[in-house]
């Protein structure tokens, strides 16, 4: 099984209220020295046949992310275990 992992993050210039809320909570829970927190999302797609890079880029850049406010990266992991969601 092959896994395509797409990570999507808000662009640095976009405000991230959820990240700021987590940053505040971390401080209240005793984790000192946190400079910043940005939240994002990850898509894990298990495929039998890997599409070409252009197809993956098109899907990541149009369907899975909003290119106006988000950046994305993706990677292909060969021989991934489909039972787990982490790479």
4 in Cβ contact with 47 (< 8 Å): yes
More confident residue, 87 or 37: 37
pTM: 0.84
Alpha-carbon span 3 to 87, nearest angstrom: 9
pLDDT in tens, 10-56: 999 999 999 999 999 999 999 999 999 999 999 999 999 999 999 99
Rounded to 5°, angle at Cα 51 from 45 and 52: 130
Dihedral of CA atoms 70, 12, 34, 73 in degrees, nearest 10, equals: 40
Band (pLDDT 50/70/90 cuts) for residue 70 is: very high
Q: What is the distance in angstroms between the CA of the first residue and the CA of the last residue of the chain? A: 13
- Secondary structure (3-state) at 65: coil
More confident residue, 87 or 39: 39
86 pLDDT more than 90: no
């Amino acid at each position: 099984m092959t896994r395509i992992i797409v990570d999507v993050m808000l662009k640095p210039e976009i405000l991230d209220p959820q990240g700021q809320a987590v940053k505040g909570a971390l401080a209240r829970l005793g984790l000192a020295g946190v400079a910043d927190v940005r939240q994002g999302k990850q898509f894990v797609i298990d495929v039998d046949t890997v599409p070409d890079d252009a197809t993956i880029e098109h899907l990541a850049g149009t369907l899975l992310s909003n290119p106006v406010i988000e950046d994305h990266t993706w990677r292909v992991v060969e021989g991934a275990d489909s039972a787990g969601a982490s790479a």
